[in-house]
Amino acid sequence: MIRVRVLLLLLCFTLAANAQKKERIYNPQDEYVYKNEFSGGLRLQSNGISLLLEYGKIKDIKRTRLFQVDYQYYIDFKMKKQKAFPLGKNEGRNYFYGLQNKFHMLRFSYGGKRMIADKARRNGVRVSFVGYGGITLGLLVPYKLDLKYDDDKGNIVVRSESYSEANKEVFLDRLRINEASGVGSGFGKTEPVPGLHGKVGFDFDFGGRDEYEKALGAGFTADIFYKRLPIMADAENRFYKFSFYVSFQFGKRW
């Protein structure tokens, strides 16, 4: 009976030690236990939505080198969909009036994270400053509309077209717009537009255990391209894009 009690006591002690080890942030030499981290997440921006993947090489408790890839679908939240009234149909594909090109961005970033305030051993929030820089690959995808034309016999015909100087009067005439063209139209004429970007912000890691990363972020992003981006046909287009963001990331350290 005594042996059983001793074994149970040793078992409880081992489990407690393992549990404590998982909660520990430092090893006996007071060095950070983890050397790598990997996470994914979602970023909500003032001009779109992004998905991201990030790898971190942890130098010590305060500093981490970061490598990030993210994809953003650009959205001008001022744009509103217009109701389509297509010929011979009860309902049609609604369209964005004046939209010349849809815009996508791929960012390849290198940066770092530096801790400002650490969390408690078991709870709290670790606050860090983050900064990135890198290459942006912009992708302009022509936005196509089904437009109404009169043929030689006086009949109305519908043609799918993207914006051009030749058809701009028709493209911007609401009475000549039949509906938006089908999903995927325009991808065959995608134009790459390279550029550079920078991102700065703050990271708030609230994970209860350091083994797992759960973090909210907030900051500012700037993208600069070598030419003006023809996104709207009826508005002034610029060669830069600025945005504020809020992000959520989750991942693992090892």
Q: Identity (one letter) of the amino acid at 140? A: L
Cα–Cα distance for residue pair 157/52, rounded to 1 Å: 44
User: Of residues 27 and 194, which shows the higher confidence score?
Assistant: 194
Neighbours of 81 (CB within 10 A): 12
pLDDT of residue 124: 80
Nearest Cα residue to 116 out of 125, 107, 108: 125
Tokens representing residue 100 in the block: 């010349």
pTM, rounded to two decimals: 0.83
102 pLDDT exceeds 70?
A: yes
Distance CA 4, CA 9 (A): 8
Angle (CA) 208 23 67, round 5°? 65
**Structure tokens belonging to residue 132:** 């990135």
Per-residue confidence (pLDDT) for residue 154, from 0 to 100: 74
Q: Which residue has the higher pLDDT, 98 or 3?
A: 98
Contact in structure between 69 and 109 (CB atoms under 8 Å): yes
Give the per-residue pLDDT at 31.
64
CATH architecture of the domain covering 29-253: Beta Barrel (2.40)
Q: How far apart are CA 109 and CA 174, in angstroms?
A: 42
**Other beta carbons within 10 Å of 233:** 17
Overall average pLDDT of the 15-43 stretch: 66
pLDDT (mean) for 51-75: 96
pLDDT of 21 over the 50 cut: no
pLDDT at 215: 95
Question: What pLDDT was estimated at residue 139?
Answer: 98
